[in-house]
Amino acid sequence: MEKFQAIVVRQQDEIVSYDVEQVSLEDLSAGEVLIKVAYSSINYKDSLAVTPKAGVINTYPMIPGIDLSGVVVSSEDEDFVEGQEVLVTGFDMGMGHTGGFAEYARIQSNWIIPLPEGLSMRNAMIYGTAGFTAALSIQSLEKMGMNHENNPKILVTGASGGVGSIALQLLQKAGYQNIATLIRKDYQKEFVEKLGAHHIVQTDEIHAASGKLLAKQQYDYVIDTVGGEVTTDLLPQLAYGGSMTLCGNAGGINIQATVLPFILRGINLLGIDSVQYPHEARFQIWNRFALEWDIAEQAHVTEISLQEVKSTIEEIQQGRHVGRTIINMNV
């Protein structure tokens, strides 16, 4: 096979650089299935992959990209056949195993999900890891009692980002009518309102309770995509028996908490991991995206080429990126 295009991240001394390069199959990690990539998507984690000392990439050089959808070219596993449409998110892809920011990827078969009927390769990447994480967050809260019939007050933090924007739309699709969103900048207000937010909360309102062991009970359920001080200040504001999911660290990896909200209000803090989530349970989530969670047509999506990846990652690093961005390998 002739050479093909991929984003390659390299490190020399303490300097990390990345750009589009010509690579070959020999540059790909080992795996049973060779996939011609149709689409990938850009997540916050992908921006960390090209950041020095972020701890995302395990070895250099590396092709990043924690998501992909595409068509099987060849397979050593009888469960996958030439021409089959598939998707992959998470596991070690784009970190220790060459990932989706390339025209071809070679993947371990036990990481691969057959594309569910009714879900296109493009729409699968509109959701990607961000959507998968949002879905896991909502599913976890529903297991803790969240139900639209009870009209709970729900807060989504980081609502203009990938996980938050998809979570907001999934909640609206499911019939929830009391959704608040946390934003940092005024220009994000119009964006989240278009996605279905019923109330807008600014960060200074959240931080007004900073330092309080117990604050006014504001929210029944929270989907926190930010972490850090936001998590710290929201825990004392959860209502009795309330639950919060935590899936992100854009606001920092440290939280400060006391036991009081947990033992006096019986709240729950639920960690969300989309990387090592069991393979056998993944298809159920993706099947829901093909059916009752189909919000792809309403999602805020920007479609770019591989050559435009750097500018999008810069937007994420500067806090200017909104919604979802997918990479079309055919443009």
DSSP H helices, 33-187, are 44-49, 121-143, 162-173
Asked whether residue 148 falls in the same domain as residue 235, the answer is: yes
Average pLDDT over the chain reads: 94
pLDDT 10s digits, 146-177: 998 889 999 999 999 999 999 999 999 999 99
Asked whether residue 146 falls in the same domain as residue 103, the answer is: no
Q: Taking residues 5-30, what's their average pLDDT?
A: 94
CA distance 208 to 220: 19
Does the bond joining 61 to the residue before it have cis omega, within 30 degrees of 0?
Answer: yes
Q: Taking residues 13-19, what's their average pLDDT?
A: 89
For residue 302, pLDDT over 70 is answered with: yes
pLDDT confidence of 212, banded at 50, 70, 90?
Answer: confident
Q: CB under 8 Å to 255, separation ≥6 — which residues?
A: 227, 228, 231, 232, 235
Does residue 319 belong to any structural domain of this protein? Answer: yes
Contact 20, 5 (CB under 8 A): yes
Task: State how beta strands 67-75 and 33-42 pair.
Answer: antiparallel
- pLDDT at position 196: 83
If 0-12 CB within 10 Å is exposed, 13-18 middle and 19+ buried, where does residue 5 land?
middle
Does residue 204 belong to any structural domain of this protein? Answer: yes
Q: Taking residues 283-292, what's their average pLDDT?
A: 93
Last residue of a domain, one of 252, 271, 290: 271
For residue 62, pLDDT over 70 is answered with: yes
- H or E stretch including 239? strand 238-246
CA distance 120 to 22: 28
CA 293 to chain centre: 16
Residue found by looking up tokens 């007004």 in the block: 208
- pLDDT at position 1: 64
- pLDDT at position 31: 97
CATH number, domain with residue 105: 3.90.180.10
For residue 109, pLDDT over 80 is answered with: yes
pLDDT 10s digits, 69-94: 999 999 999 999 999 999 999 999 99
Does residue 20 belong to any structural domain of this protein? Answer: yes
Residue found by looking up tokens 């924690």 in the block: 66
Of the chain, the percentage scoring pLDDT greater than 90 comes to 79
pLDDT 10s digits, 31-58: 999 999 999 999 999 999 888 877 889 8
Task: State how beta strands 324-328 and 33-42 pair.
Answer: antiparallel
Number of domains in the chain: 2
